[in-house]
Amino acid sequence: MGMQMGSGGASADPEVMIEMNMTPLIDVMLVLIIMLIITIPIQNHAINLNMP
């Protein structure tokens, strides 16, 4: 029909991918760094204290 099923032989098994995909991790880290760069100056000027 539309899909063939393997006979179960060892040569038909795909190789297991051991390495971690780093692209999503790098994307998430870049977004977090950009958010920190944007929010840290806002937090520093949020509270004005008059120190003696």
Contact 8, 2 (CB under 8 A): no
Choose among 33, 30, 14: nearest CA to 22.
Answer: 30
Residues of the chain with pLDDT under 50: none
Q: Which pLDDT value is given to residue 6?
A: 54
Question: Whose structure tokens read 């760094």?
Answer: 33
Q: How far apart are CA 11 and CA 13, in angstroms?
A: 6
Phi and psi at residue 39, to the nearest 5°: -90, -25
Contact 31, 39 (CB under 8 A): no
